[in-house]
Structure 1
Amino acid sequence: MAKSLNRRQFLEAAAGGVALASLAASASAQTQTGAAAFNIPSLADGQRFDPSLVVDAARMLAQKPLIPLTATDLPEGYATLPFDQYSGIRMQPAAAIWAGENRGFTVEPLHRGYVFANPVSLFTVEDDMVRRVAFDRSKFDYGRVAPPPDNADLQFSGMRISAGLERPFEVASFQGATFFRALARGQNFGAMARALILRPGEQRGEEIPFFRAFWIERPNPATAALVIHGLLDSESVSGAVRMTLRPGDVTFMDVEMTLFARQALDHVGFGCATGIFLSGPQSRRTFDDIRPAIYEVSGVQMQSGSGEWIYRPLNNPANLQVSSFVDQNPKGFGLMQRERDAAAFQDDDQRFELRPSVWMEPLGEWGAGSIQLIEIPSDSEANRNIIMYWRPKQPLAAGSEVSMSYRQAWCWQPPDRPDLAVVTRMRQGKGSQGRRRRFLLEFTGGKLGDAATVAAIRAAVSTAPGSIQNIRLWPYPERKQMRVGFEVDPGNDNLCELRLVLQAGGQAVSETWLDRWTW
C-alpha cells in the first residue's frame, strides 16, 4: 500500500500540526502542549520506589483528561535563545549525577531553553528510595547567556548520559517530546528514536507525546547497565516506559512499554526511528553542494516474520511518500547507514560514515501490522525527513491497555545476519530510450566468492506496473561482488514498485532489494 501527497498538500498538513520533519519542530510542538513540574505523591522525593508505581501513575493519568502543561516559568529570552548560545549552557562536569563514584555511568541534566522549553522532572533511585534532582543554577556554566534568578526552580529539559570508567564517552541523550538517541563506541550521533509516535503524515495533524518525568536507577558497576523509567503523556494516551541501556561496541537499549488509551487510537507507531537523507547516488534529486552525498541513513532493513531479509534504499522524493510493508510478527527492522567510506561524503565535519544504524528486534509476538516508511521532501540537513516505525493493524480502543517490548541495537550493522549478499552500492540514471530508467546495483558478500554458486546465479527482477528490460550481471568473485544492471520501462505510469533478488538453484543468495521509482 502506498500514497503520495504533493508538496503543497504536505506543507498545508505541516502547518496544521504534522510537524514531522525535525527534532526542533517536534520539540516546538511539545511546547505548544505546554509543560510544568508534575508531582506524583507515590513517586516523589523520599518515597520507596517500585517500577509498578510508574505503570500505576500512567493508568491514573489515563482516567482523566490531559493535564495542560505550561512553559511560562522560563526566564525572559530563554525560549528564543539561538542554538549556539543555548548549546553553550552546560553542567559543570563535577556536578553530573554520580560523577566521581566510578559507577560506570554519569548523568548530566540538560538546561531548558531554545526549542526545549518544557520542563521534565528528574529523579534518581538510590537504595530503593526516590531522590529528586533539584535545579541549581550554580552547577551550570552559562557561557554567553545571563543566568536565571537565584531562586529559579526550572527543572530540566532532559538528560545526557556518559558511560565508561577510564575513558567515559557520551552514549545517549533524552530531550524533546519522546526523542532519544544512542550510539556505539566510535560513532557520532545521528539517527534518533521516539518512544511513541501518533498519526504521523496525516492531514488531521500529528499528535506528539512527551515525557513528564524520569526515574533513573543508580547503576551497579558490575552490571554495566543503566535502567531508566519514564512517564509519558499525550492527549490520547499515557504510558510507562522502562529502558535498559547497555553501551559498548554495539549499544543495546531494551524498551518495555505499557500504554493506556484515553481515546480510540487508529494510528500508533512503535519502534520509531528518524534520520536524514538528502542526496546520494540512488536519488535523482541533486543539490548545489560541494559534497557528493548527504545522508546519515541509507535504507530500511527488514527481516519479515517468514524470515526474508529485505532492504529498501531511501529517497528524498519530490512529493511526500508513505510506504507500508505488511507483515505478521516481524523479526526485526531498522534504519541502516551502510556507507562507511568517508570518501563517499567528503565531509570532515559531519562524518556521516560514522553515524549509527538502529535495529529493532521485537520481543514477543507483535501480531499483524506493517512497517511504515515516511519520506519527506527536504532541502535542509537540519530536517529529519525519514521516519520509520511499526504500525499495528489492530487499533487501540478507548480505555484499553497494551504492552510492547523490543530491543534496539545502535550499531554498525544488525547484530544477527544470515550468509547472504547485501546491496552495498546503487546508482540510477536515464535509460536507453523514452521514459526508461537504468539501475545498477552492487551486491557484496555471502556466497559471491564461490565460483560454482556464482555461475548459477540469476537475477529475479520485477516491477509493478511496467516492465523490466536488458538485465545484465557482472560477477567479480575475487572480491565477492556482483553488479546487476537493468532498465525499467514504466509505460504510461508514474510510479513503479521494484523488486530484485539473486537466486541460485531456486534459493536466494542475496537479500531482497525493494525500491519505488516515481516520475
Structure 2
Amino acid sequence: MLLLLILPVFLYTASAHAFKFEEVVDKAKALAEGKYEPPPEVPGFLRDLDYQEYQAIRFNPEASLWREGRSRFQVMMVPPGNFYTHAVKLNEIDADGVHPIQFDRTAYSFPTSDLAKRIPADLGHAGFKLTYPLGAGTEQNQFLVFAGASYFRGVGARNRFGISARGIAVDTGLPSGEEFPSFVEFWLERPGAGSDRMRVYGLLNGPRFTIQTVC
C-alpha cells in the first residue's frame, strides 16, 4: 500500500501530553507494510437499519466528553449502523496520557427497547461530532463531524453546513470501481480550560492507501 501524509492544520493547541504525530505515522507505516485487513463490521441488524431507524438513535448531549470540565469544546459520539458499518477507535489525550474512549450504551436513546437490548456492550463508536459555542452565549454548536468511511464536514461561525467531504477518494468515476479508505482511529487532544483551539489526529486505511492526518 501507499503511505500518504496529510496536514490540514486548522485547529491547534499546546500538547496536553507527550503524544506526537510521529506515533500516528508509525502506526500508518506498520499498516502500509502489512496485508490490508478491513475493519470488522458491526452486527448485521445494525447495518440493516434503514435511514429513519438509524436516525432515531440519539446521543445524549449530557454525556458529551469534557462536559464536566471548563473546556469550551465538547465531543458527541456517533453510533454505528446503517451506512456506518464499522466502529472507529477513539482516544483521548490528556495530561495523564492516552486513554480509549469507551462505548456506553446508556449515553444513547434507542427507538425501541428491543433494539436497545440487542446493542453489544462493546459496540464502539462510528465517529464523533465536535461542539463549541459559536455564538455569543454558551449553547454548544456542532461544527466538525467525522463519521464513517472518510466522511467529514465542518462549518464556521455564522455559516451553515453545506456539502460534505472525504479525506481521500480513489478512482472516482472509473469503471474499475471507487475506493474510500476508512477512518479507523482518532486521537482527540483535550484543550485547556477556556481554550478556543484543539487538535485532532486521524488515521485512514484502505486497500491501496494508508493516511495519517492532524487538524
TM range (shorter): 0.7 to 0.9
The answer as to 2:197 corresponding to 1:229 is no
SS at match of 1:147: helix
The answer as to 2:160 corresponding to 1:160 is no
Superposed displacement of residue 128, structure 1: 5.5
The answer as to 2:24 corresponding to 1:54 is yes
Give the Cα separation in 2 of the matches to 1:150 and 1:239: 31
In the other structure, the counterpart of 1:87 is 55
Letter in 2 for 1:58: A
Superposed displacement of residue 209, structure 1: 0.6
Flag the structure with higher strand content.
1
The answer as to 2:33 corresponding to 1:63 is yes
Aligned partner (choices 164, 176, 179) of residue 192 of structure 1: 164
The number of residue pairs the alignment matches comes to: 195
Cα deviation digits, residues 347-390 of structure 1 (max 9, x gap) = xxxxxxxxxxxxxxxxxxxxxxxxxxxxxxxxxxxxxxxxxxxx
* TM-score scaled by length of structure 2: 0.83
Structure 1 residues 89 and 109 mapped into 2: Cα distance closer, same or farther (>3 Å)? same
Cα deviation digits, residues 123-182 of structure 1 (max 9, x gap) = 110116111111111111113362144752111111111112712211111112111001
Give the Cα separation in 1 of the matches to 2:55 and 2:188: 24
Q: Contact between 1:48 and 1:128, CA under 8 Å: does it hold in 2?
A: no
The answer as to 2:108 corresponding to 1:140 is yes
Give the Cα separation in 2 of the matches to 1:148 and 1:185: 39
SS at match of 2:202: strand
In the other structure, the counterpart of 1:267 is none
Aligned-residue Cα RMSD (Å) equals 2.0
The answer as to 2:184 corresponding to 1:212 is yes
Q: Contact between 1:49 and 1:128, CA under 8 Å: does it hold in 2?
A: no
Letter in 2 for 1:120: V
Q: Contact between 2:24 and 2:212, CA under 8 Å: does it hold in 1?
A: yes
Give the Cα separation in 1 of the matches to 2:97 and 2:20: 9
In the other structure, the counterpart of 1:401 is none
Q: Contact between 1:160 and 1:170, CA under 8 Å: does it hold in 2?
A: yes
Q: Contact between 2:70 and 2:194, CA under 8 Å: does it hold in 1?
A: no
5+ residue gaps, structure 2: 1-16
Larger Rg: 1
Cα deviation digits, residues 295-324 of structure 1 (max 9, x gap) = xxxxxxxxxxxxxxxxxxxxxxxxxxxxxx
Give the Cα separation in 2 of the matches to 1:50 and 1:218: 14
Cα deviation digits, residues 407-442 of structure 1 (max 9, x gap) = xxxxxxxxxxxxxxxxxxxxxxxxxxxxxxxxxxxx
Aligned partner (choices 91, 115, 124) of residue 123 of structure 1: 91
Cα deviation digits, residues 38-62 of structure 1 (max 9, x gap) = xxxxxxxxx9632210011101111
Q: Contact between 2:72 and 2:195, CA under 8 Å: does it hold in 1?
A: no
In the other structure, the counterpart of 1:347 is none
Percent identical: 27
Superposed displacement of residue 222, structure 1: 4.4
Letter in 1 for 2:93: V
Structure 1 residues 119 and 163 mapped into 2: Cα distance closer, same or farther (>3 Å)? same
